[in-house]
Structure 1
Amino acid sequence: MPPGAKPFELREENGELFLKVSDKSISPVVILEAIKDRGVAISLDSIRDLLNNSNEEWQSVGVKGKRVKVRISEDKLKAEVYLEPAIRNLNAEEAKKEIIRSLEEAGVVFGIKEEVVELLASGNDDNLLEQWIVIAEGIPPEESQDARIDVLVKIAEKGLQELENAVVVDFKALGFIPNVKKGTLIARKIPPKEGKDGKDVFGEPIKVKKPKDINMKAGPNTELSQDGLEITATANGFIVKEGNRFRVEPLLVVRGDVDYGTGNIECFGSIHVTGGVKEDFSVVAGETLEINGVVEGAELRSGKDMRLHSAVRGMERGRIDCGGNLYLEYADQCKITSAGELYFKRALMHCDIEVEGSVHLVEGGKGVIAGGKLYSGGDVECRALGSKVGTKTLVHLGLSPRLMNQHNVLMAKKEDLESKIATVKKNIKYLTRLAEEGKLDEKKKLLALNFVKLLESFELKHKEVESLLLKVEELIKKAKHKGRVKVREVCYPGVTIVIRRERYQVREELKEVEFLYEDGKVKVVPIDDDR
Structure 2
Amino acid sequence: MDGKGIKVEVSKDRMSVLVSADAPDLAEELMLAEIETRLKSMSIKQSLEKEAVLRKLKAAKNAEGRINNLVIAEGIPVVEPVPEHIKWEKNFFASSKWAVVNEAIDRVDYRERSVSGIVRNGELLGKIVPPKAGINGMDVLGNPIVAAKPEQNRYRPGKNVRLDEKTGCIYAAMDGMVRLTKNSIEIDEVCETENVGLDSGNIRFPGAVLVRGDVEDLATIEAGGSVEVGGVVWAAKIESEGDV
TM-score > 0.5, shorter chain as reference:
yes
Deviations 1:127-147 (A, max 9, x none): 694213322222222222222
1:177 Cα offset (Å):
8.3
- The one-letter code of the counterpart of 2:220 is S
What are the ranges of 5 or more consecutive residues in structure 2 without an aligned counterpart?
95-114
Shift of 1:85: 2.0
Aligned residue in 2 for 1:456: none
1:245 shift after superposition = 0.7
Amino acid of the structure 1 residue aligned with 2:156: K
Determine whether 1:289 maps to 2:218: no
- Counterparts of 1:149 and 1:112 in 2: how far apart (Å)? 43
Task: Determine which structure has more spread, i.e. the larger CA radius of gyration.
Answer: 1
Give the structure-1-normalised TM-score.
0.36
Match of 1:280 in 2: 218
Whole-Å Cα distance in 1 between the matches of residues 73 and 134 of structure 2?
23
Given that 2:162 and 2:172 are in contact with CA atoms closer than 8 Å, whether structure 1 keeps it comes out as yes
Question: Kindly tell me: are residues 106 and 115 of structure 1, through their superposed partners in 2, closer, same or farther at Cα, counting changes over 3 Å?
Answer: same
Give the Cα separation in 2 of the matches to 1:93 and 1:291.
84
Q: In structure 1, how many angstroms separate the alpha carbons of the residues matched to 2:78 and 2:130? A: 20
Q: 1:84 aligns with which of 12, 22, 27?
A: 22
Is 2:140 the counterpart of 1:140? no
- 8 A Cα contact 1:179 1:269, kept in partner: no
Describe how 1:50-65 pairs up with structure 2 within 5 A. Answer: 65=3
Shift of 1:233: 1.1
Which residue of the partner structure matches residue 243 of structure 1?
A: 182
Q: Tell me, yes or no, if the aligned pair for 1:179 and 1:238 is still in contact at 8 Å.
A: yes
Please state if 1:105 is matched with 2:41.
yes
Q: Hey, what does 2:7 align to over in structure 1?
A: 69
Aligned mates of 2:55, 2:93 — CA distance in 1 = 60
Q: Tell me the residue number matched to 2:242.
A: 306
CA distance in structure 2 between the partners assigned to 1:150 and 1:74 by the alignment? 38
Q: 1:200-246, CA deviations, whole angstroms, 9 ceiling, x for partnerless residues?
A: 22233322122122211111211122147332111112333210112
More RCO (CA 8 Å, sep 6+): 2
**Structure with the bigger percentage of helix:** 1
SS of 1:307's equivalent in the other structure is coil
1:263 aligns with 2:201: yes
Tell me the distance in 1 between the aligned counterparts of 2:5 and 2:132: 46
* 1:224 equivalent in structure 2: 163
| Alpha-carbon displacement from aligned partner over 1:111-162 (angstroms, at most 9, x marks no partner) | 423125556899xx78694213322222222222222234544349xxxxxx
Q: Describe the SS at the equivalent of 1:149.
A: strand
Q: Percent identity?
A: 27
Q: What are the within-5 Å matches in structure 2 for residues 454-465 of structure 1?
A: none
- Matched residue of 1:186: which SS? strand
Please state how far the C-alpha of 1:282 moved relative to its aligned partner: 1.0
Q: Give the drift of 1:70.
A: 0.3
8 A contact 2:6–2:23 mirrored in 1: no
What code does the residue aligned with 2:41 have? E
How does the TM-score come out when normalised to structure 2? 0.70
Equivalent positions of 1:115-126 (< 5 A) are 115-116=51-52, 118=54
The correspondence for 2:125, drawn from 186, 192, 195, is 186
Partner Cα distance (1:294, 1:121) in 2: 79
Q: Which amino acid aligns with 1:289?
A: S
Shift of 1:264: 1.6
- Whether the 8 Å CA contact 1:153–1:187 is kept in 2: the answer is no
* Gaps in structure 1 of 5+ consecutive residues: 1-62, 157-175, 309-531
Residues in 2 aligned to 1:93 and 1:296: alpha-carbon distance in whole angstroms: 87
In structure 2, do the counterparts of structure 1 residues 262 and 105 end up closer, same or farther at CA, with 3 Å as the change threshold?
same
CA distance in structure 1 between the aligned counterparts of 2:169 and 2:139, rounded to whole angstroms: 40
Q: In the alignment, what sits opposite 2:103?
A: none
Q: How many residues align?
A: 220
Give the letter for the 1:248 counterpart: I
Q: Is the 8 A contact 2:127 2:169 kept in 1?
A: yes
Q: 1:427 matched to which residue of 2?
A: none
Alignment partner of 1:306: what SS?
coil
Whether the 8 Å CA contact 1:144–1:209 is kept in 2: the answer is yes
Q: Is the 8 A contact 1:82 1:130 kept in 2?
A: yes
Structure 1 pair 92/230, CA: closer, same or farther in 2 (3 Å)? closer
**Alignment root-mean-square deviation, CA:** 3.7
The alpha-carbon deviation at position 261 of structure 1 amounts to 5.8
| Residue 249 of structure 1: how far off its partner (Å) | 2.5
